[in-house]
Structure 1
Amino acid sequence: MTAIGALIGLLLSIYLIVKKIPPTYSLIAGAIVGGLLGGLSLIQTVVVMTDGVKDISSAIIRILTAGVLSGILIKTGAAATISNAIVRKLGEKRVFAALAIATMLLCAVGVFIDVAVITVAPIALSIGKRLNLSPSVLLIAMIGGGKCGNIVSPNPNTIIAAENFGADLSSVMFSNIIPAFIGLLFTLFVVIKLIPKQIQKMHDSDSLIDEVNELPALLPSLVAPIVTIMLLALRPIADINIDPLLALPIGGLVGIISMKQWSNILPSIEYGLSKMSSVAVLLIGTGTIAGIIKNSTLKDWILTGLAKANIGEIMIAPISGALMSGATASTTAGATLASSSFADTILAVGISAVWGAAMINSGATVLDHLPHGSFFHATGGVCELNFKERLKLIPYETLIGVVLAGATTISCIIA
């Protein structure tokens, strides 16, 4: 089918998302229109769409089971305990580093970046009030750390990229460790310096102080992420493959036992499922448009454009991740579209499955924060920023994503 049809379908999906039509339905509608305009019959369009969903079905199952770990970390208060400990350890004078590292580690152990920001934000606003710091600067520190943690995490974007490339998840995560630290340093020592430190509206957030005594102790809180990371690390260390479908829920269950909150298991699982279900449903819609794009000549357009721009073939992965993240305003959807559509092409030019998945995963952080996505609004709302204030942060977020994608690409070239 033609690239024009796929492109029109993708643009229609973006338009519908911007108009606040549910993203899943927007993507499905765009897939139908794209298939028909691309030259397929209605029956062929439906077949291509369903094939696209089939391609990511195994990843959807893994994402749903990841809800056990995420739900337990959030509902038991373990995530908040870990965040508080990091901030206290580094001290308020190093608040930007503390917030960035806290959010980075939460994302790195499997907490969604928006959930990680929402978890750390009350601490950030409370400290910001005492130190007279701008909520905008505090939010950039959290987002920068979150993006860095996201590319080394067992979050849906990493799982899906690894799945579509047929790469080992642990290897994809570990390959981005150095780029993640480069991104963290760039956030703290470059990006933070570029943003004005003060804005007129300061915020009041003292509610966390009353909740501290109800949180679990630090050591039990660390059990869930540590067990999860150890299980995932068995593959590269001992050649024992523990699928994330098992590793993530096992880590969560061991963690809740260590915190002696077994009675809280059902609410935690239900909470995690509710969070992951929305992502799983979004991925169904993403799979339909991915099927259309995969079966179109859009990939050839991008390859031709890269060739004319004298850009090396290695750039296909990070650029496709960036473009698709911008189209969907989602790291998960962007990584899904890019990896499902371009994995075969990227592998064909000699790039390994691990590095292909890693570069797409980093590339998907470049434009995942645009206003037609939920991340933009969730993070702005929790820091009490209005639309214009939140909009001003987009260039800085994009810059962080570019550095992450660039660092991964350079690492691939060196390797």
Structure 2
Amino acid sequence: MEQFTISWIGAIAGLAIAIILILRKLNPVYALFVGAILGGLIGGANLEETLNFLVSGTQSVMGTVLRVLAAGVLAGVMMESGAAETIAQAIVKKFGGGKAIFALALATMIITAVGVFIPVAVLIVAPIALSVGNKSGISKLALLLALSSGGKAGNIISPNPNTIAAARGFNLDLSDVMLAGFIPAVCGLIVTVIVASLIKKKGVLVSDEEAQDGDIDTSKYPPLGRAIVAPLVAVVLLMINPIGSILGIDALEAFKVDALYILPIAGIIGMLAMGKGKKILEYSAAGLNKMTATVLILIGAGGIAGLISASDLSNQVVALIETSGISGTFLAPIAGILMAAATASTSTGVILATGSFGEAILNMGTAPLAAAAMVHTGATVIDSLPQGNYFHVTAGAMKMSIKQRLGLIPYEAIVGGTMAIVATLIYGFFL
């Protein structure tokens, strides 16, 4: 039986309805499902056909969901034990003073890169940033740019949901996608420091009261040597196979263990190293709880990705690119940018971009790893819009008004745009 194709108008309408409902404060999961259903009906599908693509779309993200849930063990250990705070404090102390902006950006980058969610990473480093900003006379705008964009740089080389989604979307190993993001991430960090330094006197400064509110008790945190065990084990295990491939060592190349196993194992080893073995149930439960919202949104994204995949939208976009005469390579970053902007989420944007445009991107002649890198970095350009939770969490962390937080979006786009351009040049044209 030939599969029914929905009109691209229905796909666009469904996505627009979902965005409007999210802006109207409907739970994002329900908003995505309602958008998918109405979009299917508008596009010419009946109720049964709409249900079929909804089920198909949600089934397509189950591999990602499993790995995200597994990553919850590592995330729970890093967040609940205080290991992430220890790492952040150590970095800021090491590079503080005149290098405060670099230290804050690097701290957020690293703790995001080792498996802490980017909004949580910003929440962890924000109290330190408020204190440093008050002493150094750095504006909240520059401080949050350092945290947010440093976190974005770390996010594209992390074992977080967005990277897992990029890897699964193109059937790649997680470690390969993490490595592919390294050079764009370093460029993103450099641009973050430059731009934040240029605007460090622009906007509202941190008051003495806000700085005092940021004081934190570090006495219960684990020492740095033990705090880095979990992320170190995760990185070493994830990199064994790629390093074996690069160096041509068969024994290492044969080590193919999925992140589904590696991330929980690393979390447990780190927990034992910190002497927290008795808290395995507590930490894993906390990690699972933190993953629940992300998993639900991924399932919702799978539903609307099913709508877009069942439509001829990708064909229309490909035709538009061919008509304009620009390289088909640009479809990958453009898909990442548009889908992440629509959903105000890096991971949801990657799910939509890979699920909806993945086949079209590969048909353009783009290699899977190149496609993953470009979609992934593209999803960091304008993903922090007001319809998403990240916008409001980060504004609250730095005690900023909505208007002040809106003023940061163009600067974040400069950093995300840099990473997308670097990835496109490297993987789209040079390699």
Q: TM-score, normalised by structure 2?
A: 0.94
Give the SS at the match of 1:205.
Answer: helix
- The Cα shift of 1:309 comes to 2.9
2:376 maps to which of 345, 361, 369: 361
Which deviates the most, 190-199 or 47-56?
190-199
Alpha-carbon deviations, 1:279-311, whole Å to 9, x = none?
Answer: 001111110100010110111221122223332
Indicate the percent of aligned positions where both proteins have the same amino acid. Answer: 42
Say whether residues 1:387 and 2:402 are aligned partners.
yes
Partners of 2:73 and 2:284 within 8 A in 1 = yes
- Report the Cα distance in structure 2 between the residues aligned to 1:69 and 1:136, rounded to whole angstroms: 31
Identify if the C-alpha distance between structure 1 residues 29 and 281 changes in structure 2 by more than 3 Å, giving closer, same or farther: same
Say whether residues 1:145 and 2:145 are aligned partners.
no
Structure 1 portions without partners, runs of 5+: none
Give the SS at the match of 1:216.
Answer: coil
- Report the Cα distance in structure 1 between the residues aligned to 2:202 and 2:364, rounded to whole angstroms: 46
Supply the AA of the counterpart residue of 1:286. Answer: A
Partners of 2:133 and 2:206 within 8 A in 1 = no
Say whether residues 1:134 and 2:150 are aligned partners.
no
1:85 maps to which of 77, 90, 103: 90
Supply the AA of the counterpart residue of 2:234. Answer: T
Partners of 1:140 and 1:192 within 8 A in 2 = no
- Write out aligned runs for 1:89-238 (5 A): 89-194=94-199, 196-199=201-204, 202=207, 203-206=209-212, 209-237=215-243, 238=252
- Alignment coverage as a number of residue pairs: 415
2:15 maps to which of 10, 18, 22: 10
Say whether residues 1:20 and 2:25 are aligned partners.
yes
Supply the AA of the counterpart residue of 2:430. Answer: I
Partners of 2:134 and 2:205 within 8 A in 1 = no
Identify if the C-alpha distance between structure 1 residues 191 and 271 changes in structure 2 by more than 3 Å, giving closer, same or farther: same
Say whether residues 1:268 and 2:273 are aligned partners.
no
Partners of 1:141 and 1:192 within 8 A in 2 = no
Say whether residues 1:278 and 2:276 are aligned partners.
no
Alpha-carbon deviations, 1:223-268, whole Å to 9, x = none?
Answer: 0000000111112122211211111111110001000012222221
Identify if the C-alpha distance between structure 1 residues 207 and 269 changes in structure 2 by more than 3 Å, giving closer, same or farther: farther
- Report the Cα distance in structure 1 between the residues aligned to 2:123 and 2:19, rounded to whole angstroms: 26
Say whether residues 1:249 and 2:289 are aligned partners.
no
Give the SS at the match of 1:384.
Answer: coil
2:64 maps to which of 59, 69, 74: 59
- Report the Cα distance in structure 1 between the residues aligned to 2:317 and 2:85, rounded to whole angstroms: 43
Identify if the C-alpha distance between structure 1 residues 101 and 131 changes in structure 2 by more than 3 Å, giving closer, same or farther: same
Identify if the C-alpha distance between structure 1 residues 221 and 201 changes in structure 2 by more than 3 Å, giving closer, same or farther: closer
User: Match of 2:388?
Assistant: 373
Alpha-carbon deviations, 1:171-197, whole Å to 9, x = none?
Answer: 111011111111111111135414644
- The Cα shift of 1:209 comes to 4.7
Supply the AA of the counterpart residue of 2:311. Answer: S
Identify if the C-alpha distance between structure 1 residues 88 and 33 changes in structure 2 by more than 3 Å, giving closer, same or farther: same
Partners of 1:108 and 1:149 within 8 A in 2 = yes
Which deviates the most, 152-161 or 342-351?
342-351
- The Cα shift of 1:204 comes to 2.1
- Report the Cα distance in structure 1 between the residues aligned to 2:258 and 2:46, rounded to whole angstroms: 39
- The Cα shift of 1:210 comes to 4.8
- Report the Cα distance in structure 1 between the residues aligned to 2:308 and 2:54, rounded to whole angstroms: 10
- Report the Cα distance in structure 1 between the residues aligned to 2:124 and 2:63, rounded to whole angstroms: 29
1:318 maps to which of 333, 346, 368: 333
- The Cα shift of 1:154 comes to 1.0
- Report the Cα distance in structure 2 between the residues aligned to 1:404 and 1:221, rounded to whole angstroms: 29
Alpha-carbon deviations, 1:85-104, whole Å to 9, x = none?
Answer: 00011122211100100111
- Report the Cα distance in structure 2 between the residues aligned to 1:71 and 1:200, rounded to whole angstroms: 33
Give the SS at the match of 1:211.
Answer: coil
Give the SS at the match of 2:386.
Answer: coil
Supply the AA of the counterpart residue of 1:158. Answer: T
Give the SS at the match of 2:222.
Answer: coil
Q: TM-score, normalised by structure 1?
A: 0.97
Supply the AA of the counterpart residue of 1:216. Answer: P
- Report the Cα distance in structure 2 between the residues aligned to 1:210 and 1:148, rounded to whole angstroms: 26
Give the SS at the match of 1:204.
Answer: helix
- Report the Cα distance in structure 1 between the residues aligned to 2:356 and 2:200, rounded to whole angstroms: 37
- Report the Cα distance in structure 2 between the residues aligned to 1:39 and 1:210, rounded to whole angstroms: 57
- Report the Cα distance in structure 1 between the residues aligned to 2:308 and 2:154, rounded to whole angstroms: 29
Give the SS at the match of 2:219.
Answer: helix
Which deviates the most, 67-76 or 123-132?
123-132
Alpha-carbon deviations, 1:205-226, whole Å to 9, x = none?
Answer: 3466551111100000000000
Say whether residues 1:304 and 2:309 are aligned partners.
no
Q: CA RMSD in A?
A: 1.3
Supply the AA of the counterpart residue of 1:107. Answer: T
- The Cα shift of 1:400 comes to 1.1
Partners of 1:234 and 1:242 within 8 A in 2 = no
- Report the Cα distance in structure 2 between the residues aligned to 1:207 and 1:372, rounded to whole angstroms: 28
Give the SS at the match of 1:213.
Answer: coil
Partners of 2:75 and 2:287 within 8 A in 1 = yes
- Report the Cα distance in structure 2 between the residues aligned to 1:201 and 1:116, rounded to whole angstroms: 20
User: Match of 1:330?
Assistant: 345
Identify if the C-alpha distance between structure 1 residues 414 and 16 changes in structure 2 by more than 3 Å, giving closer, same or farther: same
Supply the AA of the counterpart residue of 2:104. Answer: L
Identify if the C-alpha distance between structure 1 residues 90 and 310 changes in structure 2 by more than 3 Å, giving closer, same or farther: same
- Report the Cα distance in structure 1 between the residues aligned to 2:276 and 2:33, rounded to whole angstroms: 41
Give the SS at the match of 2:116.
Answer: coil
Give the SS at the match of 1:40.
Answer: coil
Supply the AA of the counterpart residue of 1:365. Answer: T
Which deviates the most, 219-228 or 86-95?
86-95
